[in-house]
Chains A and B, each alone.
Chain A
Amino acid sequence: MPELVMAAETNPFLPADYDIIWSAFVFVVVMVFFVKFAIPRFRQILDDRAAVIEGGIAKAESAQVEAAAALTEYNQQLAGGRAEAVKIRELARAEGVKILAEFKQQAHLEAARITAMAHAQIEAERQAAVASLRQEVGSLAIDLASGVIGESLSGDAKASAMVDRFIAELEESEQYAAGEKAKA
C-alpha cells in the first residue's frame, strides 16, 4: 500500500510552508472583507432600518395625539353647539309666547274698539232717529192742530213751546202707562 509509505513519510499535524502561507492569505482576505465591507454594511442597513421604523412609530404616535386632540375639540364644539341650540330654542319659545300674547291683546283691543264704534254708531243713529222723529211728529202735530183750530201756528214761538209741552206730556203718559204696566 503506497498510502502507508506516504503516511510514514509525512506527519499530518506538521504543516507544509505553502499550507501555512495560503491559510494565512485566506484568513487575511476573509477578515478584510468582513471588517471593511460585510459587517459595516450589515450594521449600516440595520441602523437605517431601525431609524426608519422609529421615525414611523414617532409619526404614528404624534398623529394619534393629534387625532385625540381633534376629537376632544370636536366633542367640545358639539357640546357647545348643543347648548346653544337649547338656548335658541328656549328663546324662540319665549318669543313665541310673547308674540302670541301681543296678538291676543291686539285682538282684544280691536274687538273692544269695534264694539265701541258700533255702540257709538248705534247711539248716533238712535239720536238722529229721535231728532227726526221729534221734528216730524212736531210738524205733524202742528199741521193737525192748525187744521183743528184753523190757525197757522207755524213759526210761532208759542206754538213750538206748546208742541214741546205736548210731547213731554205724551212721554210722561207713556212712562206712566209703562209704570202701570210694570205695577200690574
Chain B
Amino acid sequence: MNLLVPMSTEDGGFSAPGIGEFLGLPALFFEGTPFEINRIILVRLLAITVMLLLFWLALRKAKLVPGRGQSVAELALGFVQVQIADQILGENLGRRYLPLLAGLFYGILAMNITGVIPALNISGTALIGMPLVLGLVAYVVFIYAGVKEIGAGKFFKNSLFPSGVPWPIYILLAPIEFINIFIVRPISLALRLLLNMMVGHLLLVLCFGATNFLFFSAGGWVGLFGIGTLAFGFVFTLVELAVFILQAYIFTLLTAVYVQQAVSEEH
C-alpha cells in the first residue's frame, strides 16, 4: 500500500489506513450497552435525520404549483417511481412497493454520501450492520412478495425448478438455484454495498493521509509528491460521489428485480 512513501512507525509518521477505520472505534454514548453509539452510528443517525428533514420540509406544504424544494423532492421520488418501481415491477406492483424502494434508495444514498462530507468523512453504510439489515429486508421482502402474489408452492417451484429444462438437470439446478436465490442474494447485496463503502473510504483516507504526511512530515523534495496524492484524492472524491449514487441505485434496483422474479408466473 505504501510503496511510494517512506514508512514511519514513530509518532508523526505515516501509517496506511486499515480496518481500524471501521472497527474498534471508541464509544461516544452508552458504552458497553447494546445501544452503544460510536462515530459511524452517529453519522448514520445524522444522515437520515437530515434526509428525512429535507423531504419533510419539501413536502410539508405540498402545493399544486410546486415551489423549488417541492419540485426537487417530486423529481427525486419520481426518479425511483419511474426508473425503478414502474420499469421493473410495472404500474400495479410498482405502486405497492414504491415506498419501500424509495426508502431504500434515499436511505442508502443519505448514509453513503456522508463519506465525502467534511467532518463526517465516513459512510454510514461502511459498517456491516446497516448493509446486513437492508440485505435481510430485501430477502424477506422478495420471499414475502412471492408467497403473497403467486402462493408459496408456486413460488418455491418457480424458484428452484425453473421451467423449460429437462428434468434430470433439476438434480444439479435445484441446489444451485437454492444457494443462489436463498443464500447468495441477501449476502451479495449486503457485501457489495459494504465493501464499496469501505474501500472508497480507505482510498480517500490513503490519498489525504499521504498528502498530509508528505506536506508536513516528510520534508525535502519528497514532499512534492503530496501534490500528486492530493490530485488523486480530489479525483477519487468525485469517483466516490458517483459510487455512492450507483450503489444506492444498484441495491434498490436489485431488490426490485428480485421481487419481480419472485412474483412472475414463469421464470
The reply to whether the CB of B263 lies closer than 8 angstroms to some CB of chain A is no
Interface string of A25-58 (1 = CB under 8 A from B): 0110111011101110110111011001000000
The reply to whether the CB of A15 lies closer than 8 angstroms to some CB of chain B is yes
B55/A23 in contact, CB under 8 A = no
A19/B128 in contact, CB under 8 A = yes
Interface string of A7-22 (1 = CB under 8 A from B): 1011011111111111
A18 to B17, CA, bound (A): 24
Q: B interface, by DSSP: helix, strand, loop or mixed?
A: helix
User: Among A6, A12, A17, A27, which residue has its beta carbon within 8 angstroms of that of B133?
Assistant: A27
A39/B102 in contact, CB under 8 A = yes
A34 to B85, CA, bound (A): 14
A138 to B70, CA, bound (A): 139
Contact A37 B37, CB 8 Å, known A12-B128, A22-B129, A29-B48: no
B129/A16 in contact, CB under 8 A = yes
Q: How many residues of A contact B (CB 8 A)?
A: 40
Contact A15 B132, CB 8 Å, known A3-B20, A10-B24, A22-B41: yes
Which of chain B's residues have a CB closer than 8 A to the CB of A7?
Answer: 18-20, 23
B99/A41 in contact, CB under 8 A = no
B52/A29 in contact, CB under 8 A = yes
A18/B74 in contact, CB under 8 A = no
Interface string of B64-81 (1 = CB under 8 A from A): 101000100110010001
B19/A6 in contact, CB under 8 A = yes
The reply to whether the CB of B230 lies closer than 8 angstroms to some CB of chain A is no
Which of chain B's residues have a CB closer than 8 A to the CB of A23?
Answer: 44, 129-130, 132-134
Q: Report the minimum CB–CB distance from A55 to chain B (whole Å).
A: 11
Which of chain A's residues have a CB closer than 8 A to the CB of B24?
Answer: 6, 9-10
Q: A interface, by DSSP: helix, strand, loop or mixed?
A: helix
Name B42's closest neighbour in chain A (CB-CB).
A22
Within 8 A of A (CB), among B133-188: 133-134, 137
User: Among A4, A34, A45, which residue has its beta carbon within 8 angstroms of that of B74?
Assistant: A45
B132/A38 in contact, CB under 8 A = no
A129 to B185, CA, bound (A): 152
Contact A34 B103, CB 8 Å, known A3-B18, A22-B129: yes
A39/B52 in contact, CB under 8 A = no
The reply to whether the CB of A2 lies closer than 8 angstroms to some CB of chain B is yes
Q: How many residues of B contact A (CB 8 A)?
A: 53
Q: Report the minimum CB–CB distance from A91 to chain B (whole Å).
A: 62
User: Among A6, A16, A38, A52, which residue has its beta carbon within 8 angstroms of that of B77?
Assistant: A38
Which of chain A's residues have a CB closer than 8 A to the CB of B33?
Answer: 18
Within 8 A of B (CB), among A136-165: none
The reply to whether the CB of B107 lies closer than 8 angstroms to some CB of chain A is yes
Which of chain B's residues have a CB closer than 8 A to the CB of A15?
Answer: 127-129, 132
A3 to B19, CA, bound (A): 6
B residues near A, CB below 8 A?
9, 15, 17-20, 22-24, 30, 33-37, 41, 44-45, 48, 51-52, 55-56, 59, 62-64, 66, 70, 73-74, 77, 81, 98-100, 102-103, 106-107, 111, 124, 127-130, 132-134, 137, 191, 194, 198
A residues near B, CB below 8 A?
1-4, 6-7, 9-10, 12-24, 26-27, 29-31, 33-35, 37-39, 41-42, 44-46, 48-49, 52
Q: Can you name 24 A-B residue pairings with CB atoms under 8 Å?
A: A2-B20, A3-B19, A6-B20, A7-B20, A12-B23, A15-B132, A19-B127, A20-B133, A21-B35, A23-B44, A23-B129, A26-B48, A29-B48, A29-B52, A30-B103, A34-B102, A37-B56, A38-B59, A39-B99, A39-B102, A42-B62, A42-B81, A45-B62, A48-B64
